[in-house]
Amino acid sequence: MRLDGTVPENPLEQLQLALENIKKNLETAEMEIEDLTKMVFYLVGDFEAEQRRKLIGDFLGNHLPCTTMIYVVALAAPTFKVEIDAWACKEIGLDVNQGNIDKFSPKIT
């Protein structure tokens, strides 16, 4: 979905927009495409396979997260032809000597 709430009619344009939105979310979280660990694509209707592969390939580059593509009958609204469930993980540096490891460690009493 665009910022103004509109959705392109063309499914490939929806796919491109969804990928751009994922990239913006990653950047906001100070992450990169390489931090993606899993992507599940839910697609409705026919997609030109070669163009679909090119869009996804251009987005991912050499990165290959676990990926599943599922064709479904419908999504939340008839307008939507693409939904992507994207998971990302980024290692953060924790320094035991700085004391910040306690925030992430269970307490055993």
Could you tell me the two tokens for 48?
């030109």
User: Which alpha helices (DSSP H) does the chain contain, by range?
Assistant: 11-28, 49-60
Per residue in 15-59, pLDDT (tens digit) is: 999 999 999 999 999 999 999 999 999 999 999 999 999 999 999
Could you tell me the two tokens for 72?
């479904």
The rounded distance, in Å, linking the Cα atoms of 42 and 56 is 13
Domains of the chain, earliest start first: 11-104 (3.30.1330.40)
Per residue in 69-91, pLDDT (tens digit) is: 999 999 999 999 999 999 999 88
pLDDT at 95 (0 to 100) = 58
